Amino acid sequence: GGGARARIDRVLFREEALAAKVRELAERIRQDYAGAVGAGAGRAPLTVVGILKGAFVFTADLVRALGALEVPLQVDFMAVSSYGSATQTSGIIRILKDLDRPIRGQHVLLIEDIVDTGLTLRYLREHLMAQDPASLKACVLLDKPERRVVDVPVEYVGFTIPDEFVVGYGIDYAEQFRYLPYIACVRLEG
């Protein structure tokens, strides 16, 4: 804590826009996984892996949207951190909490709030692929391509955004603002 201060500059995505995007993503996911997930011949369970802390709100909304479309799934979480309370990535990803259950043979959908340099997502994809899932895809609410350092596939993207500090809907600036129901740009002060 302490150090840099920030305040909300302008709203980028209102609650309604986020809810509409979540429904749209859920519908695409439902179609893509139809016939592949659940019980029965040739099917495997779908496990949604939310990446804490940033993706906690998006994951909660997306799994309920999938549930409303009757997509059967399980939920697990990993907690990783590369930024800590800093605003620049350290490039070193630490696993603070790993999966609770094995994902071997399952369809895994990794849920992230944002892909920036791509270092976190690349690390997570390698970590999960090493556990031999039936498939692995990533669903990311925000994509900031200007900041990319490593190439990493992202199968589902909510919004592509310019290189600005964003907060809210789970996303923090130095651990602040995660609780905002909308996504906003912040202005740094001092």
Positions annotated as catalytic residues are 116
> From CA 9, how far away is CA 121, in angstroms rounded?
28
- 89 touches, from ligand PRP, Mg ion, Mn ion, none (C-beta below 5 to 8 Å by class): ligand PRP
Q: Are 47 and 73 in contact (CB under 8 A)?
A: yes
Measured CA to CA in angstroms, residue 131 lies from 39, 80, 124, 125 at distances of: 21, 17, 11, 10
Q: Which of 50, 118, 133, 158 binds ligand PRP (CB under 6 A)?
A: 118
Q: Are 28 and 158 in contact (CB under 8 A)?
A: no
- 114 touches, from ligand PRP, Mn ion, Mg ion, none (C-beta below 5 to 8 Å by class): ligand PRP
Q: Which of 50, 54, 133, 168 binds Mn ion (CB under 5 A)?
A: 54
CB closer to Mg ion, 74 vs 87? 87
Q: Which of 54, 133, 158, 168 binds ligand PRP (CB under 6 A)?
A: 54
Closest distance of CB 44 from Mn ion, Å = 27
> From CA 121, how far away is CA 116, in angstroms rounded?
9
